[in-house]
């Protein structure tokens, strides 16, 4: 995958005053955050805090109600949604969103839909199959027949096939058995170690903060706390509210 593992290279993504509204109800109330190149940032918070809405607004699955999103120094909140993948932004949506009646190989090919460099695509397919050997074994199977964990692997693999610079992960652990969650997060750490910039939304705050370098805590549409991930893990308020202690 692309990226070079150099941390602290400056921000890849800056969101300022980002707002998302459904009808009259504000789900995200003008939040400001950034993701530096090569780092993994966790966005944690309770159900309904606005985490998923934030990610969807970044990937333009919904239109932000206000604020700005700058990516590589450029304003992107006005780009048509299907252009974002060309800019290097890939979202693994909540609930996986695999194409159930496409085969695994076809799902992965869809991930590379924005690309035309055949050799590069073949190389990345090999890489994805290396991360998830199970997908290679079931290449010809329809994605709808996979287990939830395998579908999550496929969704992550599919996102990687676009060779993104910024990977947005929405609740990758949702609904999975603990052993599968471990596997998925192992891969996320591997991909991060290869230099990928990751913005991770998770309800499992402990897992997210153990994976990320920095974290933001969201509460009813706003960011209430931000710090190094390790500091958040030891913050009494976070421990009480999100780590069940």
Partner 1 sequence: MDILFQQIINGLVQGSIYAMVALGYTMVYGIMGLINFAHGEVVMIGTLVAISIVTLLVQSGMPPALAGAFGVAGAALVCMALGWSLERIAYRPLRRAQRLAPLITAIGMSIVLQNLAMMIWGRNYMTFPPLIEKTQYEFAGAAFTSVQVMIVVVAALSMSGLLLLVYRTRLGMAMRATAQNPAVAGLMGVNANRIISSAFVVGSALGAIAGVMVGTYYEVAHYQMGFMLGLKAFTAAVLGGIGNFAGAMAGGVLLGLIEALGAGYIGDLTGGFFGSHYQDIFAFAVLILVLMFRPSGLFGEKTGDRA
Q: Is 97 in the site for partner 1 (CB under 8 A)?
A: yes
- Where do the H-state alpha helices sit in 97-147? 104-111, 118-131, 133-137
3-state secondary structure of 87: helix
Residue 110 engages partner 1 in binding (rule: CB under 8 A): yes
User: Can you tell me which of 99, 138, 220, 227 binds partner 1, judged by CB under 8 A?
Assistant: 99
Binding of partner 1 by 31 (CB under 8 A): no
Residue 233 in the binding site for partner 1 (CB under 8 A): no
CA distance 75 to 32: 14
Pick the closer one to partner 1 by CB: 80 or 133: 80
Residue 150, token pair as written in the block: 């395998």
| 33 CB neighbour count, 10 Å cutoff | 19
Question: Which residues does residue 232 pair with via DSSP β-bridges, in sequence order?
Answer: none
Among 173, 150, 168, which residue's Cα sits nearest to residue 104? 150
Interaction of residue 197 with partner 1, rule CB under 8 A: no
Q: Which of 28, 35, 43, 59 binds partner 1 (CB under 8 A)?
A: 59
- Residue 109 phi, psi (nearest 5): -65, -35
Candidates 4-12, 109-117, 128-136, 189-197: pick the segment binding partner 1 (CB under 8 A). 109-117
Q: How far apart are CA 97 and CA 103, in angstroms?
A: 14
The span from the CA of 161 to the CA of 111, in Å, is 5
Tokens describing residue 67: 């604020």
By C-beta, is 127 or 239 nearer to partner 1? 127
Which residue number, 10 or 175, has a Cβ lying nearer to partner 1? 175
d(CA 36, CA 199): 10
193: Cα separation from own chain's centroid: 15
Residues 142-171 that bind partner 1 (CB under 8 A): 142, 144-148, 151, 158, 162
CA quadruple 211, 217, 219, 222: dihedral sign: negative
Stretch that binds partner 1, among 140-148, 186-194, 215-223, 226-234 (CB under 8 A): 140-148
234 binds partner 1 (CB under 8 A): no
Chain positions 65 to 84 lying near partner 1, rule: CB under 8 A, are 80-84
| Residue 120 touches partner 1, criterion: CB under 8 A | no
Q: Which is nearer to partner 1, 159 or 238 (CB)?
A: 159
- Piece of 44-52, 71-79, 100-108, 181-189 that binds partner 1 (CB under 8 A): 100-108
Residues that bind partner 1 (CB under 8 A): 59, 61, 80-86, 90-91, 93, 95, 97, 99-102, 106, 109-111, 113-114, 142, 144-148, 151, 158, 162, 175
């Amino acid at each position: 995958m692309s990226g070079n593992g150099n941390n602290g290279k400056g921000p890849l993504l800056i969101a300022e005053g980002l707002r998302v509204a459904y009808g009259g109800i504000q789900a995200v109330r003008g939040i400001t955050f950034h993701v530096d190149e090569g780092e993994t940032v966790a966005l944690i918070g309770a159900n309904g805090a606005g985490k998923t809405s934030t990610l969807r607004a970044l990937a333009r699955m919904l239109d932000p109600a206000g604020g700005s999103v700058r990516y590589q120094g450029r304003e992107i909140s006005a780009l048509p949604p299907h252009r974002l993948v060309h800019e290097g932004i890939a979202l693994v949506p909540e609930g996986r969103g695999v194409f159930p009646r496409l085969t695994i190989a076809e799902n992965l090919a869809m991930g590379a839909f924005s690309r035309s460099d055949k050799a590069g695509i073949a190389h990345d397919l090999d890489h994805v199959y290396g991360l998830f050997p199970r997908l290679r074994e079931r290449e010809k199977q329809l994605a709808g027949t996979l287990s939830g964990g395998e579908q999550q692997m496929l969704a992550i693999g599919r996102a990687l096939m676009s060779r993104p610079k910024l990977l947005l992960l929405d609740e990758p652990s949702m609904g999975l058995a603990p052993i599968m969650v471990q596997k998925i997060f192992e891969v996320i750490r591997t991909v991060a170690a290869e230099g990928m910039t990751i913005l991770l939304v998770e309800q499992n705050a402990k897992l997210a903060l153990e994976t990320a370098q920095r974290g933001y805590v969201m509460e009813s549409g706003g960011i209430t706390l931000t710090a190094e991930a390790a500091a958040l893990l030891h913050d009494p308020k976070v421990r009480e509210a999100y780590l069940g202690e």
